[in-house]
A and B are shown apart, each in its own frame.
Chain A
Amino acid sequence: MTRRREPLFGGAGRPILTERLARALRTGERPDSPPIDWIVLMPFFRHFAPRELGLAIAGFLFAAFATPVSAEPGKTFGAETFTLDNGMQVVVISNHRAPVVHHAVWYRVGAADEPPGKSGIAHMLEHLMFKGTDTIAAGEFSKIVARNGGSDNAFTSQDYTGYFQNISADRLPLVMEMEADRMSNLEFSEQDFLTEREVVLEERRSRTDNRAQGQFSEQIGAAQYLSHPYGLPVIGWEHEIRGYTYDDSLNFYRRFYAPNNAILIVAGDITADALRPLAEDTYGRIPAAEVPPRIRPAEPPQLAARRVVMYDARVANPEWMRSYLAPSYRTDEDHQAVALDILSTILGNGPTSRLYQSLVVDRQIATSAGAYYSGGSYDDTRFVVYARPRPGVDLEALETAIDEELAKLIEEGVTEEELERAKFGIQSLAVYSRDNLSTLARIFGVALTSGATVEDIERWPDLVEAVTPDDVLAAARLVLVERQSVTGMLLPEEEEAS
């Protein structure tokens, strides 16, 4: 079938291209100008799945960029929620357009909850969750789903681990039973563990070590956080992956996988009334377990601006980025997160944004420029500005120009016109995101695992609408502070010698 775009080598195995394309389609930007470390912010999927990855990006962005609007206040998506006796939260987003469902379980555990020295073990466990239970043989889970006309995948981020199936609505009881089964009955062999560890090492090579940008992003992230585990890569450092033991994986599973630490999200051709007995009969039978409180090492005050300069033979064009520590929707004190969503849109989302207009169009010193903010995280997150210079422009000159734009913003704030455009763009996502069940579910999953309530999500549009130019200015002044930043430069290797 003709896809939106079908490169000769399209299909599985090109997740990066898909991300760029998704962004390009969304923002109207050229596909060749992605933010540099997009991948770091993306959840890691169990296997290549370009379509799902694209949707994931949409959903992620939605949550990250803030959420949006509808005619009826507080009823943007019409989600219903209830809680099982064992503490498992259930969210239902009914949509009867097609007789299909997206069924997902999101655990409130991610890479930032790992024990020291075991970076990436949350992601490793996510892979092992497909290795069977006492009743389902290794590797059979996905095959059973496929034999029922469904597809499945899983993903891991700093704050969550999720598992989902897209399947005909009448198969929902089957996948609920299977998903509940592996919540408490996971079983895998030492050999399966060892083989999967090799797979994860290959995944790390593909995502990170084969790409200078991948390694660069990892270094920036590590420099941003002085103490908090968000500084560690979701997939894990290579030497720590090599050191995982069978028991490390199993211990992590036993510690965090319990119904009271999970959220069931079902979107599609189902109602809350119809789902409740199914949920009670599957997940509801699993006893609650004690789960450690979610307390990560906190960041100390960041007093010194950092610089990360990396030279690599695989770099064709230099890249520049700056990452600022920023509050998330959960950690902000006075609704700064929603203002930062608007700020990132005005500053750096698409061809009408300030950075693009200033650096790419007017000054003609960059081929791409932008900004993004990922507010849907449990702890303090990052606000990122990036640019790529035109040939012959050095990174210092580019940085000076960007600093001028940022200074102007902090001095003068944003205009009403800019604010209105950004608000309408963000709010339109409330309509567009309803086109896809996976996107809808992801909006809820990201927000709920980072501390929001269903009501918060439904009312998000009101929050967006209420933002004033002064709010945006205050948020900019709070976040765009040099001593809380990391400035990164990625350069071709030959420049090192000169």
Chain B
Amino acid sequence: MTVVKTRRFSPLLAVIAFGCLLIAGGAKAAVEVQRVVSPGGIEAWLVEEHTVPFLSMRFAFRGGAKLDPAGKEGLAELASGTLNEGAGDLDALAYQKAIDDNAIRLGFDAGMDEFGGTMETLTERRDKAFELLALALTDPTFDQGAVDRVRGQLLSGLERDTKNPNAVAQKLWQRTVFPNHPYGRPASGTIEGVTAITTDDLHQFVRDRLTRDALVIGVAGDVTAEELGELLDRAFGGLPESGPPFEVAEVAPAASGAVLIERMPQPQSVVVWGQRGVKRTDPDFYTAYVMNHILGGGGFSSRLTEEVREKRGLAYGVYSYLAPRDHAGLFLGGVATQNERVAESLEVIRAEYARLRDEGVSEQELADAKTYITGSFPLTLDSNAEIASRLVGMQITELGIDYLEHRNQLIENVTVEDIKRLAGDLIDPNSFTVVVVGDPVAIEPTAAR
């Protein structure tokens, strides 16, 4: 077994040295990320934490719902709901009783770019937990009755989505900007797709997609590197080495400039908009990250909240965010406001994007954003669950095992000039695809530009 240790110091100290005058002291936290390679060759990144007797593990297989075959939209989602419905010699009830009897927390999820899982277990039940996980990953039963039951639950959820303004807005937006790409389809599937999936499809999904070459693992908690090595082999050692290769085209969201309105009977309209953004691997990612924080990512410190909520009382929530996908960068936003004030809200919001594009940000705004983004970083690493998830994200996006050490420096490096340049190049309120779901007044749908 190979164990490479990388000592990491929390950047809080550095933050404070770089920060504004309000910051006067500092604290240091050591989070040591270890690269663990099991005897069988399974790699995981580990942060040991022995104060509480449990561990959190997050794992992900690259791929995800974007690989759902045409006509079988929802395959990854249905797999995520049925892997734990019986495995090996255990039927669904026996399997779930084993999970519950041992207070194991196990769940799978289908994202657009990854198929993921999360497991938490008490130290005293650790062996059982990894054994049950192995069964689910390598020998799921996919009993027809259980699959049909879970399918029924998914279909019920998809039907409810048709009346849920948030879901309607999200799906319509995706469909509009990605008309000819898997990203245009909902990760949760479609009614037709979920209906068409067979148990053979599920077995093939497991064979093709749950493979070692697509797997990344993050663990935090009460386990040593040596112990983890054995557990990794137990859970993941039986997976096939690789599956059929896949290729997904790079894509940019259509810059339609259209306003689409979906009429639904409700007092408040749900509005979402978006345009192209930057991918996680883009050299401008950190500039975009800080820029977005100032515009609409920073809650009460953001310009959108100030203008829309604090000054005008137009909404409870308004926000923007970067959504970097494997094959596309997105820069998205949303607001919910009473039907009578949708037009006014959109006008205020578009004006804020235009102001950012034309004027950039001030030195003070940048300094405040940096202080928050860097200073709050350790707060996001305070639990096993968060750390395990972060370790997986770092591997998926190939940030390097020492990322936590220099992440704050990457934020500190951003300048007002960088933001001015990127905002000028990137932001284009006229290109927004806007979806309004509700019964808005004084706003008409427009065709794509």
Known: A12-B319, A146-B368, A314-B264. A32 touches B157 (CB 8 A): yes
Question: B231 at the A/B interface (Cβ < 8 Å)?
Answer: no
Chain B residues with CB under 8 A of A427: 103
A149–B29 contact, CB under 8 A? Answer: no
B163–A361 contact, CB under 8 A? Answer: no
Tell me which of A146, A206, A314 contacts B265 (CB under 8 A): A314
The distance from the CB of B125 to the nearest CB of chain A, in whole angstroms, is: 9
Chain B residues with CB under 8 A of A144: 22
Question: A498 at the A/B interface (Cβ < 8 Å)?
Answer: no
Interface residues of B in 367-408 (CB under 8 A from A): 368, 371-372, 374-379, 381-385, 389-390, 392-393, 396-397
Question: B229 at the A/B interface (Cβ < 8 Å)?
Answer: no
Known: A25-B105, A33-B153. A2 touches B316 (CB 8 A): no
The distance from the CB of B190 to the nearest CB of chain A, in whole angstroms, is: 15
Question: A421 at the A/B interface (Cβ < 8 Å)?
Answer: yes
Of all chain A residues, the one with the shortest Cβ separation from B306 is A139
Question: A483 at the A/B interface (Cβ < 8 Å)?
Answer: no
Tell me which of A2, A97, A195 contacts B60 (CB under 8 A): A2
Interface residues of B in 36-90 (CB under 8 A from A): 49, 51-54, 56, 58, 60, 81, 84
Task: Give complex CA distance A26, B299 in Å.
Answer: 28
Of all chain A residues, the one with the shortest Cβ separation from B321 is A11
B300–A47 contact, CB under 8 A? Answer: yes
Question: B179 at the A/B interface (Cβ < 8 Å)?
Answer: no
Encode contact with B along A5-18: 1 for CB under 8 Å, 0 otherwise: 11111111110110
Chain A residues with CB under 8 A of B116: 4-5
A170–B27 contact, CB under 8 A? Answer: yes
Interface residues of A in 377-417 (CB under 8 A from B): 388, 390-391
Residue from A211, A269, A390, A435 with most neighbouring chain B CB atoms (10 Å): A435
A146–B300 contact, CB under 8 A? Answer: yes
List the 10 closest A-B pairs by CB distance, nearest first: A149-B375, A198-B313, A99-B27, A32-B157, A2-B393, A428-B103, A205-B268, A142-B300, A203-B316, A170-B25
What would be 28 A-B contacts, judged by CB atoms less than 8 Å apart? A4-B389, A9-B332, A10-B321, A13-B319, A28-B105, A47-B299, A47-B316, A48-B316, A97-B51, A99-B29, A100-B378, A142-B299, A149-B374, A168-B27, A168-B375, A196-B313, A197-B313, A200-B316, A202-B314, A202-B338, A316-B160, A360-B149, A368-B156, A390-B156, A421-B100, A435-B385, A436-B383, A436-B385
The distance from the CB of B300 to the nearest CB of chain A, in whole angstroms, is: 4
Interface residues of B in 324-351 (CB under 8 A from A): 330, 332, 334, 336-338
Question: A364 at the A/B interface (Cβ < 8 Å)?
Answer: yes
A210–B336 contact, CB under 8 A? Answer: yes
A315–B163 contact, CB under 8 A? Answer: yes
Chain A residues with CB under 8 A of B426: none
B170–A9 contact, CB under 8 A? Answer: yes
Question: A357 at the A/B interface (Cβ < 8 Å)?
Answer: yes
Question: A298 at the A/B interface (Cβ < 8 Å)?
Answer: no
Question: A350 at the A/B interface (Cβ < 8 Å)?
Answer: yes
Encode contact with A along B339-366: 1 for CB under 8 Å, 0 otherwise: 0000000000000000000000000000
B156–A28 contact, CB under 8 A? Answer: no
A97–B49 contact, CB under 8 A? Answer: yes
- Range of interface residues on chain A? 35 or more
Interface residues of A in 131-164 (CB under 8 A from B): 139, 142-144, 146-151
Question: A227 at the A/B interface (Cβ < 8 Å)?
Answer: no
Of all chain A residues, the one with the shortest Cβ separation from B31 is A98
The distance from the CB of B18 to the nearest CB of chain A, in whole angstroms, is: 11
Question: B111 at the A/B interface (Cβ < 8 Å)?
Answer: yes
The distance from the CB of B343 to the nearest CB of chain A, in whole angstroms, is: 16
The distance from the CB of B318 to the nearest CB of chain A, in whole angstroms, is: 8
Task: Give complex CA distance A146, B373 in Å.
Answer: 9
Task: Give complex CA distance A28, B96 in Å.
Answer: 9
Of all chain B residues, the one with the shortest Cβ separation from A427 is B103
Interface residues of B in 169-201 (CB under 8 A from A): 169-170, 173-174, 187
Task: Give complex CA distance A152, B377 in Å.
Answer: 14
Task: Give complex CA distance A428, B125 in Å.
Answer: 11
Encode contact with B along A100-144: 1 for CB under 8 Å, 0 otherwise: 100000000000000000000000000000100000000100111
A317–B159 contact, CB under 8 A? Answer: yes
Task: Give complex CA distance A198, B161 in Å.
Answer: 28
Encode contact with B along A317-333: 1 for CB under 8 Å, 0 otherwise: 10000000000000000
Task: Give complex CA distance A111, B384 in Å.
Answer: 35
The distance from the CB of A387 to the nearest CB of chain B, in whole angstroms, is: 12
- Range of interface residues on chain B? 35 or more
Encode contact with B along A265-282: 1 for CB under 8 Å, 0 otherwise: 000010000000000000
Of all chain B residues, the one with the shortest Cβ separation from A32 is B157
Task: Give complex CA distance A237, B173 in Å.
Answer: 33
Task: Give complex CA distance A168, B336 in Å.
Answer: 33
Known: A6-B111, A98-B10, A350-B100. A431 touches B122 (CB 8 A): yes
Chain A residues with CB under 8 A of B49: 97
B22–A147 contact, CB under 8 A? Answer: yes
Residue from A2, A24, A130 with most neighbouring chain B CB atoms (10 Å): A2
Q: A8-B173, A26-B105, A202-B316 are in contact. List 11 more A-B contacts (CB 8 A).
A: A1-B390, A32-B157, A47-B316, A99-B12, A142-B300, A147-B22, A149-B377, A206-B317, A314-B265, A317-B159, A436-B382
Known: A97-B51, A149-B15, A435-B52. A28 touches B383 (CB 8 A): no
Task: Give complex CA distance A100, B313 in Å.
Answer: 33
Question: B152 at the A/B interface (Cβ < 8 Å)?
Answer: yes
Known: A98-B378, A149-B23. A205 touches B336 (CB 8 A): yes
Of all chain B residues, the one with the shortest Cβ separation from A130 is B300
The distance from the CB of B168 to the nearest CB of chain A, in whole angstroms, is: 11
The distance from the CB of B392 to the nearest CB of chain A, in whole angstroms, is: 6
Task: Give complex CA distance A149, B374 in Å.
Answer: 7
Chain B residues with CB under 8 A of A210: 165, 266-268, 270, 336, 438
Interface residues of A in 191-220 (CB under 8 A from B): 194-203, 205-206, 209-212
The distance from the CB of A8 to the nearest CB of chain B, in whole angstroms, is: 6
A148–B29 contact, CB under 8 A? Answer: no
Of all chain A residues, the one with the shortest Cβ separation from B325 is A8
Chain B residues with CB under 8 A of A436: 382-383, 385
A166–B153 contact, CB under 8 A? Answer: no
Question: A352 at the A/B interface (Cβ < 8 Å)?
Answer: yes
Of all chain A residues, the one with the shortest Cβ separation from B216 is A2
B382–A100 contact, CB under 8 A? Answer: yes
The distance from the CB of B382 to the nearest CB of chain A, in whole angstroms, is: 5
Task: Give complex CA distance A3, B112 in Å.
Answer: 13
Question: B150 at the A/B interface (Cβ < 8 Å)?
Answer: yes
Tell me which of B93, B150, B372 contacts A352 (CB under 8 A): B93
Chain A residues with CB under 8 A of B106: 28
B27–A428 contact, CB under 8 A? Answer: no
Question: B323 at the A/B interface (Cβ < 8 Å)?
Answer: yes
Question: B445 at the A/B interface (Cβ < 8 Å)?
Answer: no
Question: A424 at the A/B interface (Cβ < 8 Å)?
Answer: yes
Chain B residues with CB under 8 A of A451: none
B382–A98 contact, CB under 8 A? Answer: yes
Interface residues of A in 329-378 (CB under 8 A from B): 350-352, 357, 360-361, 364, 367-368
Task: Give complex CA distance A143, B298 in Å.
Answer: 10
Tell me which of A100, A139, A428 contacts B379 (CB under 8 A): A100
Residue from B156, B266, B375, B390 with most neighbouring chain A CB atoms (10 Å): B156
Question: B203 at the A/B interface (Cβ < 8 Å)?
Answer: no
Question: B315 at the A/B interface (Cβ < 8 Å)?
Answer: yes
Task: Give complex CA distance A4, B337 in Å.
Answer: 29
Known: A9-B334, A32-B154, A361-B149. A48 touches B101 (CB 8 A): no
Question: A226 at the A/B interface (Cβ < 8 Å)?
Answer: no
Question: A437 at the A/B interface (Cβ < 8 Å)?
Answer: yes
Question: A285 at the A/B interface (Cβ < 8 Å)?
Answer: no
Chain B residues with CB under 8 A of A14: 166
Chain A residues with CB under 8 A of B378: 98-100, 168
Question: B32 at the A/B interface (Cβ < 8 Å)?
Answer: no
Known: A12-B319, A47-B317, A202-B338. A98 touches B29 (CB 8 A): yes
